[in-house]
Structure 1
Amino acid sequence: MRTEPRAALSPAVKAVAWTASVFFALLLFAVAWVWCGMSYEEQFSEQSKAVSAGSTMQGWGLTVGLVPVLVFHALVAIGAFFAVHDGGRRGVPASLALAVVLVLAVSLPGFVAVQLLYGGTMFAPPVYVP
């Protein structure tokens, strides 16, 4: 069993790790928000067919789109908390606040991109023009 502490990572290794983490987080959050938008689009486009068949699509966007995005946010926030906690060198309140800020910072660009993609109506049904 190892008793001596591990050597600290060099600043260059930490910089590369954080840069890669932010890049992949931005990419994955953008994909997650697009998934959410697509699920709401599916709900809105299939609702009339579902009603004709005696069923409903109500809640599809929430359960298939938004809930997985929120779970993904929670998992990334937990991972970010442990990453910034740095073995107890930073206090719990500061680590928690920093983790929340990090998650918001990497999620917001994806959310804005999807809102632009859907014309700002991701959570609202489109206007029907016959």
Structure 2
Amino acid sequence: MTSCYCGRAISYASCCGKIHEDITSVATAEDLMRSRYSAFVLAKGDYLQKSHHSTTRPSSKEKKSIVCWAKSVQWVKLEVLHTSEGMPKDTKGTVAFKAFYYEQGALQVIHEHSMFTKEHGYWVYVGEVQ
């Protein structure tokens, strides 16, 4: 069996694929963060926009450039470093991660400590913890 893009040892269809189909099914902030990584791998701009908090959501023009960039790099792996709160009964949480990718032949890494909250009853990405 092939593991999900997010690194979990279950299929994409059983993991992030379910969340991409129904964002309200996401249980934890970490699950949402993993689904966003998989969405970058697959260049799913609509999902990346929908999974963003309404106050920090990229515009349609920004979405197009995000999709273009996501398609231009080769995604390697995701490492979840730490989570705080973000469990099903919580309303906020943070996830620290590293996302590795190749861009123009050089290995790059996004290292971020991200803030998540519930909006309209489901988890969304707010932005980097300042």
TM-score (norm 1): 0.26
Per chain length, whose mean CA-contact separation is higher, i.e. which structure has more relative contact order (CA < 8 Å, sep 6+)?
Answer: 1
TM-score (norm 2): 0.26
Greater helix share, structure number: 1
